Amino acid sequence: MAEESVKLLGYWASPFALRVKWALKLKGVHYEYVEENLPNKSPLLLRYNPVYKKIPVLVHNGKPLAESLLIIEYIDEAWKQNPLLPDDPYERANARLWAKFFDEKCVPEVMGAFASKGEEQEKAAKARENLKMLERALEGKPFFGGDKIGFLDIAVGWIGIWGRIVEEIAGVSLIDAETMPLLTAWLNNFLEVPVIKACIPSWHELLEHNKGFHKILTGSST
């Protein structure tokens, strides 16, 4: 059988690249990691993702794929061990729907609170409202995937880290233990899973990196 080549083009501070790393690690897939020196995009990245020109990009036996959630579904289909999505079509649809909701309704609101100068509290309130809705998908289970981590857990999980960073830098509350007990409990469990924890970048480095980002986005001097 021909040797398999799996490459991941990523960026250390990207939560979207982290999602893909988590998926690969959960499946026990060996891969070569290529760090992009953002904002300078390499010719390789531009060749592999001419449409969006973004990381993460997974290259499997020379064939490139972009968009983190699509990549994770691909990984789930290409490597059958430790399934990330359930078998039942209705449950699969629900997992995809919630992941889409998170990317389209929670992430922009969190980013909005992070990038705002003056309106961060209002935007954070909206973000909290939408994040709270995710608890419906937990329904008394330890993970979104049930007894073990699944697709939706790795789609949403990074908010546990980046959410706290935004809270600290922008001075807002996003994940409130009192009003979101299920989400808080889930995050605490999720981030302690060894395979998950091992991939998380250094808190201090992420904080410093995002402080710089925040300055640029808000045009502030401090």
Partner 1 sequence: MAEEVKLLTTWSSPFALRVVWALKLKGVQFDSIEEDLSNKSPLLLQYNPVHKKIPVLVHNGKPISESLVILEYVDETWRQYPLLPDGPYDRARAHFWAKFSDDKVSPSIWGVFIKQGKEREEAFDQIFENLKFLEEELKGKRFFGGEKIGFADLALGWIAERVCVLEEIIGVKIVEEEKFPLVSAWMQEFVKVPIIKESLPPHEKLVTKIRGIREKFLGAA
Instruction: Write out the residues near partner 1 by the rule CB under 8 A.
Output: 50-51, 60, 63, 65-67, 70-71, 73-74, 77-78, 89-90, 92-94, 96-97, 100-101, 133
> Would you say 47 or 63 has its CB closer to partner 1?
63
Minimum Å gap between C-beta 147 and partner 1 is 22
> Would you say 130 or 179 has its CB closer to partner 1?
130
What secondary structure, in 3-state letters, does the chain show?
A: CCCCCEEEEECCCCHHHHHHHHHHHHHCCCCEEEECCCCCCCHHHHHHCCCCCCCCEEEECCEEEECHHHHHHHHHHHCCCCCCCCCCHHHHHHHHHHHHHHHHHHHHHHHHHHHCCCCHHHHHHHHHHHHHHCHHHHCCCCECCECCCCHHHHHHCCHHHHHHHHHHHHCCCCCCCCCCHHHHHHHHHHHHCHHHHHHCCCHHHHHHHHHHHHHHHHCCCC
Minimum Å gap between C-beta 101 and partner 1 is 6
> Would you say 97 or 198 has its CB closer to partner 1?
97
Minimum Å gap between C-beta 197 and partner 1 is 28
Minimum Å gap between C-beta 135 and partner 1 is 12
> Would you say 128 or 214 has its CB closer to partner 1?
128
